[in-house]
């Protein structure tokens, strides 16, 4: 942040403290190690992603409903010579009731969009884009939820293009049966003024699924089977015949037993991401294996650390695409520091 922006945030914090009755803090640590063995693939690249996030936040609240938080997300990439590689500011208003949840500002994305499948967001998004800049609003009860969100992640300038996400997702549960919607639109606009050879493009993705979800008290936390349709629209508004509408079938089968779990997803249908060679990850956040007409992902994981303050997960992902079997090894460790030392609240 610039000095002017820092001063503005400080003044805003002082003004809010005038009516706030409670002061609180929270801090999280998130370590990730993700090694992909994709050298045989022509659809994505082979890489190792590893680093640690530290997210300190200070909060002011007048009651249990309204709160304001300010802090930052500090990323240290493993092996880097920098003390901190990326600093992202966090500043948001939160309104929380038993039936609704509202965030406005810049806030962590991890717990808000975790209902989206790996087909919508590849792993690197959570590692290197940990915040949302905009609004998240959710209505919920014991058997359903609906949310709508905006992530304005690209401010239009003479050199930077305007980019933003608009997303909607929902779930309706009736006994063991459920219907689920996941969707978003990514808008990739031009600079201001327009730069020649930059085209206005959109990537729209939506999945509607129905299925069965079962659990019991003998250690079976989840047994989920579902089938759905993954539809989309990819368009370049300045190219004749530049609109593509891929569609395909998605099957899922997940199971969690005590600390062990399996998640399986299978896609069969039209190849996607038709502008990938021109735009790459600037336009597409979804799984690059969807560039093929079939794809199977099987994730096997074990909760090696499980407590109120720490959660460590070790996973092996198997990817079958282009007639080849590839693998990925993942270890993540999340810590909630305020629950470890006791969350302080001053009145």
Q: What is the pLDDT of residues 188-209, one digit of tens each?
A: 999 999 988 888 999 999 999 9
Residue 285 to residue 108: CA distance in whole angstroms: 17
Long-range CB contacts for residues 89-94, cutoff 8 Å, separation at least 24: 89/1, 89/9, 90/55, 90/57, 90/131, 91/9, 92/68, 93/66, 93/67, 93/68, 94/66, 94/67, 94/68, 94/69
Asked if residues 123 and 93 have their Cβ atoms less than 8 Å apart, the reply is no
What is the rounded distance in angstroms from the CA atom of residue 40 to the CA atom of residue 23?
53
Query: What end-to-end distance do the CA atoms of the chain give, in Å?
Result: 30
- Per-residue pLDDT, 346: 43
Looking at residue 340, its pLDDT comes to: 78
User: Distance between CA 25 and CA 17 in Å, rounded?
Assistant: 14
Q: What are phi and psi of 11, to 5 degrees?
A: -65, -40
DSSP 8-state code for residue 36: E
How many whole angstroms separate alpha carbon 136 and alpha carbon 275? 29
CB 76 within 8 A of CB 55: no
Fold category of 101-346 in CATH = Porin (2.40.160)
Q: What is the pLDDT, as a whole number, of residue 239?
A: 82
In the prediction, which pLDDT does 197 show? 84
Cα separation, 103 vs 113, in Å, equals 13
Query: CA-to-CA distance for 148 and 49, rounded, in angstroms?
Result: 30
Residues 55/71, Cβ–Cβ less than 8 Å = yes
Residue with tokens 């993942």: 330
pLDDT reported for residue 344: 47
Residues composing the chain? 347
Task: Output the tens digit of pLDDT for each of the chain's 347 residues.
Answer: 555 555 555 555 555 555 446 888 999 999 999 999 999 999 999 999 999 999 999 999 988 899 999 999 999 999 999 999 999 999 999 999 999 999 999 999 988 999 999 999 999 999 999 999 999 999 999 999 999 999 999 999 999 999 999 999 999 999 999 999 999 999 999 999 998 888 899 999 999 999 999 999 888 999 999 999 999 999 998 887 789 999 999 999 999 999 999 999 999 999 999 999 989 999 999 999 999 999 999 999 999 999 989 999 999 999 999 999 999 999 999 999 888 776 544 44
Task: Locate the domains of the chain by residue range.
Answer: 101-346
pLDDT score, position 19: 47
């Amino acid at each position: 942040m610039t000095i002017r922006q820092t001063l503005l945030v400080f003044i805003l914090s002082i003004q809010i403290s005038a009516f706030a009755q409670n002061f609180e803090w929270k801090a999280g640590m998130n370590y990730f190690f993700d090694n992909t063995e994709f050298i045989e693939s022509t659809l994505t690249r082979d890489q190792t992603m590893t680093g640690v996030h530290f997210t300190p936040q200070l909060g002011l609240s007048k009651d249990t409903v309204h709160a304001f938080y300010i802090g930052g997300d500090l990323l240290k990439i493993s092996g880097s010579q920098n003390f901190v590689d990326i600093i992202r500011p966090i500043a948001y208003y939160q309104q929380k009731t038993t039936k609704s949840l509202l965030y406005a500002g810049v806030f962590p994305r991890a717990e808000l969009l975790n209902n989206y499948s790996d087909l919508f967001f590849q792993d690197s998004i959570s590692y290197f884009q940990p915040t949302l800049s905009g609004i998240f609003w959710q209505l919920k009860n014991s058997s359903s939820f609906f949310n709508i969100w905006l992530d304005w992640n690209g401010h239009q300038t003479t050199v930077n293009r305007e980019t933003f996400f608009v997303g909607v997702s929902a779930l309706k549960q009736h006994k063991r049966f459920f219907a689920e919607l996941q969707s978003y639109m990514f808008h990739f606009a031009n600079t201001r003024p327009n730069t020649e050879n930059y085209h206005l493009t959109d990537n729209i993705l939506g999945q509607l699924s129905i299925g069965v979800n079962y659990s019991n008290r003998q250690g079976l936390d989840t047994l989920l089977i579902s089938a759905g349709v993954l539809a989309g629209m990819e368009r370049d508004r300045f190219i004749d015949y530049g609109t593509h509408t891929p569609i395909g079938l998605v099957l899922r089968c997940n199971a969690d037993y005590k600390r062990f779990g399996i998640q399986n997803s299978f896609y069969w249908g039209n190849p996607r991401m038709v502008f990938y060679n021109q735009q790459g990850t600037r336009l597409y956040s979804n799984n690059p294996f969807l560039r093929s007409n079939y794809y199977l992902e099987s994730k096997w994981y074990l909760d090696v650390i499980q407590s109120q303050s720490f959660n460590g997960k070790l996973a092996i992902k198997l990817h079958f695409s282009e007639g080849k079997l590839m693998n990925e090894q993942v270890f993540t460790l999340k810590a909630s520091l305020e629950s470890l030392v006791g969350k302080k609240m001053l009145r």
